[in-house]
Amino acid sequence: MKKKNLLDSKVILEASRQALIMLNPFKLVRNPVMFVVEIGSVITTAITLYSLIHPDGEFLFTATISVWLWLTIGFANFAEALAEIQGRAQAESLRATRADTQARLVVPEGIRTVPGNTLKKGDQFLVEAGEILPTDGEILEGVASIDESAITGESAPVIREAGGDRSGVTGGTRILAGSLRVGVTNNPGETFLDRMISLVEGATRQKTPNEIALTILLVGLTIIFLVVVASIPAFSSYEGVLSSPTVLIALLVCLIPTTIAGLLPAIGIAGIDRAFRANVIAKSGKAVEVAGDIDILLLDKTGTITFGNRQAVQLLPAKGVSDEEMAFSSWLSSLSDDTPEGKSIVGLAASQLSSPVAPQGLRPIPFTPETRMSGVDGPEGEIRKGAEDAVRAYTGSAFPAGISEIIAEIAGSGGTPLVVARNKTIMGVIHLKDVIKPGLKERFERLRKMGVSTVMVTGDNPLTARAIAQEAGLDDFFAQAKPEDKMQLIKKEQEKGRLVAMTGDGTNDAPSLAQADVALAMNSGTQAAKEAGNMVDLDSDPTKIIEVVEIGKQLLMTRGALTTFSIANDVAKYFAILPAMFVVSYPQLGVLNVMKLATPVSAVTSAIIFNALIIPALIPLALKGIRYRPVGASALLRRNLLIYGLGGIAVPFVGIKLIDMILVLLHFT
């Protein structure tokens, strides 16, 4: 998806227009801190108008303060509008792919062509090569190769078929080959795409729990600063100093946490947006936020940690059997085996033989659950391969010396041994191995540093499971797991107070997905799985959950960092405004004017201008999120405290001084 330029003049214009609409106090009251600023702006504006009618020499000052107060609210609204527009632009590009398609609806009397957006849940429609799917659905019949690049950006086509865990199809994708009968799973306006679009547009956006807690704290701080500022007129009147309402309002606005309050909605929207850019549709902002809190990540072995199928890596002949004999037997045994494992055996064996030729009259012996072996019958006799116990049952005698050791060694290393026999004589053992996806070890290490432990769930025996877990760098594994065990595991961890994340695609994953705190369903998965999860990955990449965790953490960090920055800023603003308020009556207090601001008027004005400008200055940071490094909590905190805490104290001293210098140049003193 193409990223829209942040500084596109059309975008800025639209965001500004919305920022103006959001000045409506009934809308602004959702953001209590900015609402207080608006009340202050109304009062100073009234004072300005009054001094226009009754000139008192204060007009220019109050007018300037009023303008900057309104700009403060405007900038905050602009930040929120910009975040929403960014999200909408991406949704828009998705929506474009769903241009009015026609659907062939299955009705009792046959087939009727209807507009795609009139399909309702439960309807069935037909679709074939070259057509675009009109809506989300589940394949009831047929198999097809589908180009999902419109959704995922991935150009390789995917196979979807009825039954099983890969039966879901998404509206807007194109059938390349095959034809399907599809059951509609969502009513118009409720498809994942629709939900996603409404989410990024903020239509159904709700404050997340953490956002609510932070808002409460910000309201608490605002009340405290209201109390503080309200007490100043009494104090200063006792000391014989009259306080100007304009200056008091300016002080109040500088003290209350306007920076974070102005950027808070934008940070939240941008978080969901970042997830979306990673092709993950979060059903709620809460889901993204919770992802940052995850303690345990459950990962399926097959498809997530390893590539879906095992590969032959070694052919080990029995004593007295030559390498060539073993390779040839292995080659023969798998010639009619179409499974990926079988193909890998053929490939490996062929590489050890010089152009082998298959004898005439081979009769394939397919795998059956009873024999649990496969192979061929032909001029070379009976060639079979299978698991250790199946082959032993077939030969009816003990393995020759050395074979059991080889088998144990392969199993111990996490591999799968397949025994090859010719005419009931053991030829050797094929070493099949799970191939771990590249780069996973580093990602798990990153997770460990974030405090997330990884647990592999597999149906393999404990020995195999341990070896793979070790090789992939996982913290723990759960072997010989049945689907229902996953559910128990999640519940057990949750009872200990841990938050659990998992990925899944099958219908039998659905209960666990519903139970997990963060559940990333694969878009290729069944409808049940997608309904049960709270996020859907359009790329159907199980390891994407790791990115989601990082996005969640980044979201919380950005909030915390900007809050800290916002509060730390207050110190400098005090040093700008308080001396300005009292220095005329008490020249001794001049030493507190550490920034050496020119005059009381320029000091107050500089502080309020800084307070307003810092909001747009931080918009890029709020939208992008602060940088996340997996270095552990303490190091992260030390770093962020240094940047946003100490930096938050220092930056405004410089900023206010610079603005004051400009004001002096402009003779605004």
Partner 1 sequence: MIANDWIQILVSLGLIVLIAPLVGRYLAWIYQSPHLSLEKGIYRLLGLDADREMGWKEYAAVLVVSNGVFFVAGYLVLWAQGILPLNPRHLPPLSPEVAFNTAASFVTNTNWQAYAGEAQLSNLTQMLAITFLMFVGANTGLASLVAIIRGFVREGSATIGNFWADFFRFFLRAFLPACVLMALVHVEQGSPQTLSSSVTAKTIEGAPQTLIVGPVASLESLKHLGTNGGGFYNANGAHPYENPTPLTNTLEFLEMGVFTFSLPFFFGRMIGRPRQGQVFFAVIFALYVAGLGLIEYSEKMPNPLLASASVMQKTTPLQDGGNMEGKETRFGTTQTSLFSNTTIAATTGAVDGAMDSMNPLAVLVYLVHMFLNEEPGGKGVGFAGLLKEAILAIFLAGLMVGRTPEFLGKKIESREIKLAALSLLVTPILVLWLSGLSLVLPAGKSSIDNPGPHGFMEVLYAFASGNANNGSAMAGLNVSTPYYAISIGLEMLLGRFLPLLPLLALAGSLARKKTLPENAGTFRTDTPLFILLLLGFMVLFAALTFFPPLILGPILEHLSMLHQIAF
Among 94, 232, 487, 572, binds partner 1 (CB under 8 A): 232
Among 98, 104, 310, 553, binds partner 1 (CB under 8 A): 553
Identify residues 486-515 at the interface with partner 1 (CB under 8 A): 496-498
Measured CA to CA in angstroms, residue 549 lies from 5, 74, 152, 267, 499 at distances of 27, 33, 20, 16, 12
DSSP class of 590: G
Identify residues 247-286 at the interface with partner 1 (CB under 8 A): 255
* Inter-residue contact 138 to 166 (CB < 8 Å): no
Angle between helices 192-200 and 258-277 (to 10 degrees): 160
When the beta carbons of 114 and 571 are compared against partner 1, the nearer one is 571
Whole-number minimum distance, CB 628 to partner 1, in Å? 7
Q: Name the catalytic one among 123, 136, 165, 300.
A: 300
596: contact with partner 1 by CB under 8 A:
no
When the beta carbons of 556 and 615 are compared against partner 1, the nearer one is 556
| 293 annotated as a binding-site residue | no
Identify residues 411-470 at the interface with partner 1 (CB under 8 A): 448-453
Number of residues located near partner 1, criterion CB under 8 A: 71
Whole-number minimum distance, CB 588 to partner 1, in Å? 4
Among 592, 617, 650, 661, binds partner 1 (CB under 8 A): 592
When the beta carbons of 369 and 587 are compared against partner 1, the nearer one is 587
Whole-number minimum distance, CB 402 to partner 1, in Å? 46
| 194 annotated as a binding-site residue | no
* Inter-residue contact 210 to 559 (CB < 8 Å): yes
Q: Which of 565, 646, 623 is nearest to 260 (CA)?
A: 565
Identify residues 16-55 at the interface with partner 1 (CB under 8 A): none
Whole-number minimum distance, CB 260 to partner 1, in Å? 10
Identify residues 198-217 at the interface with partner 1 (CB under 8 A): 209-210, 212-214, 216-217
Stretch that binds partner 1, among 191-199, 232-240, 299-307, 353-361 (CB under 8 A): 232-240
Among 74, 134, 168, 292, binds partner 1 (CB under 8 A): 292
357 CB burial (10 A radius; 0-12, 13-18, 19+): exposed
E strand or H helix at 500, and its extent?
Answer: strand 500-504
Q: Which of 141, 175, 152 is nearest to 94 (CA)?
A: 152
Residue 641 one-letter amino acid:
L
Whole-number minimum distance, CB 69 to partner 1, in Å? 21
| Residue 535 dihedral angles phi and psi, to the nearest 5° | -145, 155
Whole-number minimum distance, CB 576 to partner 1, in Å? 12
* Inter-residue contact 85 to 56 (CB < 8 Å): no
| 517 annotated as a binding-site residue | no
DSSP class of 646: I
Q: Which of 76, 233, 139, 195 is nearest to 618 (CA)?
A: 76
Pairing of strands 518-522, 535-537: parallel
Whole-number minimum distance, CB 274 to partner 1, in Å? 14
Q: Give the pair of three-digit tokens for residue 181.
A: 């009968």
* Alpha-carbon span 72 to 37, nearest angstrom: 8
Among 75, 125, 328, 628, binds partner 1 (CB under 8 A): 628
Indicate left, alpha or beta for 417 from its phi (over 0: left) and psi (-120 to 50: alpha).
beta
Active site residue 517: no
Q: Give the pair of three-digit tokens for residue 197.
A: 């679009």
Among 156, 238, 665, 667, binds partner 1 (CB under 8 A): 238
| 460 annotated as a binding-site residue | no
When the beta carbons of 119 and 452 are compared against partner 1, the nearer one is 452
593: contact with partner 1 by CB under 8 A:
no
602 CB burial (10 A radius; 0-12, 13-18, 19+): buried
- Secondary structure (3-state) at 561: helix
When the beta carbons of 159 and 224 are compared against partner 1, the nearer one is 224
Quickly list DSSP for 383-433. EEEE-HHHHHHHH-SPPPTTHHHHHHHHHHTT-EEEEEEETTEEEEEEEEE
In the block, residue with structure tokens 């998404």: 170
| 337 annotated as a binding-site residue | yes
When the beta carbons of 2 and 496 are compared against partner 1, the nearer one is 496
Among 14, 295, 325, 380, binds partner 1 (CB under 8 A): 295
- Sign of the CA dihedral running 500, 505, 508, 514: positive
Residue 380 one-letter amino acid:
E
When the beta carbons of 438 and 497 are compared against partner 1, the nearer one is 497
Identify residues 637-656 at the interface with partner 1 (CB under 8 A): 637-638, 640-641, 644-645
337: contact with partner 1 by CB under 8 A:
no
* Alpha-carbon span 262 to 616, nearest angstrom: 9
| 14 alpha-carbon distance from chain centroid | 27
**In the beta sheet, which residues pair with residue 428?**
317, 420
609: contact with partner 1 by CB under 8 A:
no
Whole-number minimum distance, CB 473 to partner 1, in Å? 15
Among 93, 176, 204, 235, binds partner 1 (CB under 8 A): 235
109: contact with partner 1 by CB under 8 A:
no
Among 591, 665, 666, 667, binds partner 1 (CB under 8 A): 591
Measured CA to CA in angstroms, residue 28 lies from 37, 76, 261, 264, 265 at distances of 10, 10, 11, 13, 12
Identify residues 555-574 at the interface with partner 1 (CB under 8 A): 556-557, 559-561, 563-564, 567-568, 570-571, 574
Whole-number minimum distance, CB 444 to partner 1, in Å? 13
Whole-number minimum distance, CB 350 to partner 1, in Å? 48
When the beta carbons of 20 and 635 are compared against partner 1, the nearer one is 635
Whole-number minimum distance, CB 518 to partner 1, in Å? 13
* Inter-residue contact 15 to 81 (CB < 8 Å): yes
* Inter-residue contact 656 to 595 (CB < 8 Å): yes
7 CB burial (10 A radius; 0-12, 13-18, 19+): exposed
* Inter-residue contact 33 to 222 (CB < 8 Å): yes
* Inter-residue contact 172 to 132 (CB < 8 Å): yes
When the beta carbons of 38 and 517 are compared against partner 1, the nearer one is 517
E strand or H helix at 377, and its extent?
Answer: strand 373-378
Stretch that binds partner 1, among 192-200, 289-297, 389-397, 466-474 (CB under 8 A): 289-297
When the beta carbons of 121 and 286 are compared against partner 1, the nearer one is 286
Among 29, 159, 584, 633, binds partner 1 (CB under 8 A): 633
| Residue 110 dihedral angles phi and psi, to the nearest 5° | 140, -130
* Alpha-carbon span 1 to 643, nearest angstrom: 33
Stretch that binds partner 1, among 145-153, 154-162, 521-529, 551-559 (CB under 8 A): 551-559
When the beta carbons of 35 and 225 are compared against partner 1, the nearer one is 225
Among 102, 237, 470, 480, binds partner 1 (CB under 8 A): 237
Measured CA to CA in angstroms, residue 69 lies from 119, 150, 378, 394 at distances of 51, 45, 91, 88
Identify residues 296-315 at the interface with partner 1 (CB under 8 A): none
- Binding residue numbers for ATP: 337, 341, 385
- Binding residue numbers for Mg(2+): 505, 509
- What positions carry a catalytic annotation? 300
- Binding residue numbers: 337, 341, 385, 505, 509
